[in-house]
Amino acid sequence: NPFDFDVKNVANTGVVDWAGELYALWEGGKPHKMDPRTLRTVGEADAVLGEPLEVPQMAAHYRVLDAKDEAKKRLVAFSIEAQNQPFQANKCCFYEWDANGNRAARNAFGIQNASFGMFHDCLVTENWYMLLQNPTALDPRKLFTEYMFAKCALAQVIGFQDGQPAILHMLPRTEKARKIGQKAIQMDNQFFFHHVNAFEPEESGDAGKVVFDSAPWTFMDFGVNLDSVTPAFYNGGSRVEYTRFEVDVKKETSSQRPLSNRVMELPQVNHAFTGKAYRYAYAAAAAVKDDVLWGPNQCLVKFDTDPSVGAESSEETWYFGERAFMQEPIFIPKPGGEEEDDGYVAVIVNDAGRDASVLHVFDAKKIKDGPVASVDTGEHLPPGLHGYWSESVHR
For residue range 125-138, what is the model confidence (pLDDT) as tens digits?
999 999 999 999 88
Alpha carbon distances (Å) from 143 to 76, 219, 221: 34, 21, 16
pLDDT (average), residues 60-75: 94
The per-residue pLDDT for 312 is 65
Taking residues 183-196, report their average pLDDT.
96
pTM confidence score: 0.93
Q: Which long-range contacts (CB under 8 A, 24 or more apart) does 235-238 make?
A: 235/292, 235/293, 236/292, 238/191
End-to-end Cα, the chain, rounded Å = 41
Contact 243, 283 (CB under 8 A): no
5-29 burial code (b ≥16 CB/10 A, e <16): eeeeeebebbbbbbeebbbbbbbeb
Does residue 394 carry a pLDDT above 70?
no
pLDDT for 232:
87
Which pLDDT band holds residue 349 (cuts at 50, 70, 90)?
very high
Share of the chain above pLDDT 90, in %: 74
Residue 311 banded pLDDT, cuts 50, 70, 90 = low
Looking at residue 8, what is its pLDDT? 86
Name 172's bridge partners.
128
Average pLDDT over residues 257-277: 95
Q: Which of 173, 179, 182, 181 is nearest to 200 (CA)?
A: 173
Question: pLDDT band at residue 309, thresholds of 50, 70 and 90?
Answer: very low
Report d(CA 256, CA 277) in Å as an integer.
17
Range 279-293 average pLDDT: 96
- The arithmetic mean of pLDDT across residues 246-263, rounded, is 95
Question: Which pLDDT does position 3 carry in this prediction?
Answer: 73
Q: Per-residue pLDDT for 237 more than 50? A: yes
Per-residue model confidence (pLDDT) at position 193: 95
Whole-angstrom distance, CA of residue 324 vs CA of residue 335: 31
Indicate if the alpha-carbon torsion angle 11, 159, 114, 199 is positive or negative.
positive
Mean pLDDT over 151-176 rounds to 91
pLDDT value at position 205? 76
Q: How far from 305 is each of 3, 317, 348, 363, CA to CA, in Å?
A: 50, 15, 25, 19
What's the pLDDT band for 115 if we cut at 50, 70, 90? confident
Residue environment code for 100-132, b if the CB has 16+ CB neighbours within 10 A, otherwise e? ebeebeebebebeebebbbbbbbbbbbbbbbbb
Name the least confident of 79-93, 168-182, 242-256, 298-312. Answer: 298-312
Rounded to an integer, the average pLDDT of 146-151 is 82
How many other C-beta atoms lie within 10 A of the C-beta of residue 274? Answer: 21
How open is the CA angle 90-96-100, to the nearest 5 degrees? 150
Q: What is the mean pLDDT of residues 348-360?
A: 92
346 DSSP β-pair partners: 330, 361
Q: Which amino acid is at 197?
A: N
